Amino acid sequence: MLGMIGEVVYLLPFTACLAWMLDPLTGATVGKRVCGLRVGDIDGRPARWSRRWARTAVQNAGLWGWTLALLTGRWEIAVLASLAGITVMGGALAALGYTKATLHDRVSGTRVWRQARE
């Protein structure tokens, strides 16, 4: 029983953290790589690391806000984190518009491009 709990307590958060860090570190998550997509600048070049980290920070603002709210026990932070999460999810609908860019892409100055085949 302790072994199963250990996997949930240690392995699951480590795996989630690794998956969240793939996008800003390499420019593509596992899903983006499978689909042949990559995060780049507006002109199509690979995005700088600062832009990729800014994109990830905006994209996960609600998640980190809720983590902070749970650690501090403050409901005000939880409300703000919920509003941030709703805003980011609503900003994903912006990808249906003319520019095809989500809110976190617009804020960070990035776009998701189809990777050129080699």
Work out the pLDDT band at 94, boundaries 50, 70, 90.
Answer: confident
Q: Is 48 left (phi over 0), alpha (psi -120 to 50) or beta?
A: beta
CA dihedral sign of residues 42, 43, 44, 46: negative
Work out the pLDDT band at 117, boundaries 50, 70, 90.
Answer: low
Q: Using the 8-state DSSP alphabet, how is residue 43 labeled?
A: T
What's the number of domains the chain is made of?
A: 1
CA distance 87 to 61: 10
Residue 44 has pLDDT above 70, yes or no: yes
Q: Mean pLDDT in the chain? A: 85
Please indicate, yes or no, whether the overall pTM of this predicted structure exceeds 0.75: yes
> Residue 87 belongs to what domain range?
2-114
The percent of residues above 90 in pLDDT, for the chain, comes to 33
Tell me the backbone φ, ψ of residue 88, rounded to 5 degrees: -65, -40
Count other C-beta atoms under 10 Å from residue 41's C-beta. 15
Residue 87: predicted pLDDT: 92
pLDDT digits (tens, 9 = 90+) for 1-42: 556 666 666 777 777 777 778 889 988 888 888 999 999 998
Residue 80 has pLDDT above 90, yes or no: yes
Beta bridge partners of 113: 38
